[in-house]
């Protein structure tokens, strides 16, 4: 099962390019409809992980350097971020493809060349100088479309290409300890509250020299609900302010393999037409699909409906 979605976000510059001289540039991309501003999946995800750790108590992932790349390690047991974000390099023992897929958030309106002239004159005067440092930065404000997908069947499930000498008679705690020892993470494992980790796990099985870790239904449900709730009230700090990343409108589907309905939404916005629920539901019905629409006012209620559909009580 896959949950797909499209967020309509109204905000300013979310992250920037490398810059040219003293000009801070926005990230831009050329499209058939003009030059658009975009923000990267990486900037969105980092804001999301920070929000979940600060506001929902998600644990920080274990981090090591593998293949010259600093990245997450460990298992889905100890880290919710590792569960959804996965690893970067090709084939570590704990390789995990991402469960949360994001595309670039691309603006509907085009970049019009807006610039902002700035100085630090106020601070310079405090220092007793009348000369200031000057910076020009490209500016933008508009509507972005952010498509994404979550492979819900893979939440809380991980395969490890190892056996770790697990035995049938081992209990869950013993199996977890052996796995972290085999991953050379025993020292980090010793710092965890073992009872908390054990409560998260439904089963750890070995078959064909592969370990399969499966978390409990309640743990999977908690993680998905908190992820979606955090996406609904997200911001990203940049340049001394916080950019709003909360969706003005959110579209979800448990029946589309990819968010094809993005095309319908985009066409409506380009033509400056109002997006009516009956129109988009009619679009989905032609495909034999269903779409759940949430506004910023009823977002949490719609998330509860989705969670109940994915992990029914």
pLDDT tens sequence across 115-167: 888 777 777 777 777 777 777 888 899 999 999 999 999 999 999 888 778 88
Res 72 pLDDT > 90: no
pLDDT at 187: 79
Rounded to an integer, the average pLDDT of 100-122 is 87
Q: How many domains does the chain have?
A: 1
Residue 100's nearest CA partner among 87, 90, 86, 117 is 86
Neighbouring C-alpha atoms within 13 Å toward the C-beta of 209: 3
Q: Can you tell me the distance from the alpha carbon of 143 to that of 43, in angstroms, rounded to the nearest whole number?
A: 17
Q: Which domain holds residue 231?
A: 2-152+219-310
What span, in angstroms and rounded, lies between the C-alpha atoms of 313 and 311? 7
Q: Indicate whether 171 belongs to any domain.
A: no
**Average pLDDT in the 47-72 region?**
88
Of 105 and 64, the one with more pLDDT: 105
- Is 125 inside a domain boundary? yes
- pLDDT score of 22: 75
- Look at residue 88 and tell me whether its pLDDT is greater than 90: no
What is the pLDDT, as a whole number, of residue 90? Answer: 56
Among 101-105, 192-196, 295-299, the minimum mean pLDDT is found in 192-196
Is 293 inside any structural domain?
yes
In tens, the pLDDT along 204-252 reads 999 888 899 999 999 999 999 999 999 999 999 887 788 999 999 999 9
Is residue 203 in some structural domain? no
More confident of the two residues 135 and 305 = 305
Phi and psi, residue 136, nearest 5°: -110, 140
Kindly tell me the burial class for residue 97, based on how many C-beta atoms sit within 10 Å of its own C-beta (0-12, 13-18, 19 or more).
exposed
* pLDDT confidence bin for 92, thresholds 50/70/90: low
Strands (E), the chain: 2-11, 23-24, 28-31, 34-39, 62-66, 69-73, 100-102, 105-110, 115-119, 134-138, 142-151, 157-160, 201-207, 210-215, 235-238, 241-244, 247-253, 292-295
**Whether the predicted pLDDT of 93 surpasses 70:** no
In the predicted model, is pLDDT for residue 177 greater than 70? yes
- Residue by residue, DSSP assigns 4-28 as EEEEEEEES--SB---BTTEEPBPE
67-80 average pLDDT score:
86
Find, among 94, 77, 79, the residue nearest to 198 by Cα.
77
Q: What is the mean pLDDT of residues 80-98?
A: 80
pLDDT at position 254: 97
Instruction: Output 75 or 191, whichever has higher pLDDT.
Output: 75
Whether 179 is in a domain gets the answer no
Contacts of 76 (CB under 8 A, 6+ apart): 82, 83, 96, 156, 157, 158, 213, 215
Query: Is pLDDT larger for residue 23 or for residue 37?
Result: 37
pLDDT more than 70, % of the chain: 97
Looking at every residue in the chain, the average pLDDT score rounds to 90
- Residue 31 near residue 92, CB atoms below 8 Å: no
Identify any residues that bridge with 135 across adjacent strands, giving them in sequence order.
118
Residue among 44, 2, 6 at smallest CA distance from 252: 6
The pLDDT value recorded for residue 64 is: 81
Per-residue pLDDT, 227: 98
The answer to whether position 186 is within a domain reads no
What span, in angstroms and rounded, lies between the C-alpha atoms of 274 and 172? 54
Q: Does residue 163 form part of some domain?
A: no
Choose among 204, 209, 137: nearest CA to 174. 204
In this structure, the strands spanning 134-138 and 23-24 are parallel
Element (H, E) at 181: helix 172-182
Residue 172: pLDDT over 70: yes
pLDDT at 4: 98
Higher pLDDT, 94 or 221: 221
- The Cα 231–Cα 253 span in angstroms is 16
68 in a structural domain: yes
Q: Among positive and negative, which fits the CA dihedral 87, 91, 96, 98?
A: positive
């Amino acid at each position: 099962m896959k949950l797909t979605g499209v967020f309509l976000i109204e905000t300013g510059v979310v992250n920037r390019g490398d810059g040219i001289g003293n000009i801070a540039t926005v990230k831009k991309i050329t499209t058939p409809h003009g030059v658009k501003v975009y923000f990267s999946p990486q900037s969105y995800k980092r804001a999301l992980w920070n929000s979940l750790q600060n506001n929902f108590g998600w644990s920080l992932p274990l981090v090591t350097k593998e293949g010259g790349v600093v990245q997450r390690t460990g298992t889905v047991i100890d880290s919710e971020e590792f569960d959804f974000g996965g690893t970067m390099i090709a084939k570590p023992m704990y390789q995990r493809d991402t469960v949360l897929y994001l595309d670039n958030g691309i603006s509907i309106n085009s970049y019009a060349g807006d610039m902002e002239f700035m100085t630090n004159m106020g601070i310079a005067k405090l220092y007793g100088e009348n000369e200031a440092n000057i910076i020009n930065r490209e500016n933008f404000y508009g509507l972005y479309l952010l498509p994404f997908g979550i492979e819900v069947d893979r939440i809380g499930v991980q395969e490890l290409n190892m056996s770790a000498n697990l035995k049938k008679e081992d209990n869950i705690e013993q199996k977890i300890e052996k796995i972290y020892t085999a991953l050379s993470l025993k020292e980090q494992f010793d710092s965890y509250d073992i009872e908390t980790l054990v409560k998260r796990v439904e089963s750890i099985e070995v078959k064909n020299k592969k370990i399969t870790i499966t978390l409990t239904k309640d743990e999977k449900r908690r993680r998905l609900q908190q992820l979606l709730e955090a996406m609904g009230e997200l911001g990203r700090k940049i340049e001394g302010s916080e950019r709003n990343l909360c969706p003005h409108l959110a579209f979800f589907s448990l029946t589309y393999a990819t968010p094809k309905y993005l095309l319908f939404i985009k066409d409506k916005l380009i033509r400056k037409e109002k997006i009516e629920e009956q129109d988009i539901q009619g679009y989905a019905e032609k495909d034999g699909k269903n779409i759940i629409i949430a506004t910023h006012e009823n977002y949490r209620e719609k998330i509860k409906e989705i969670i109940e559909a994915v992990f029914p009580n």
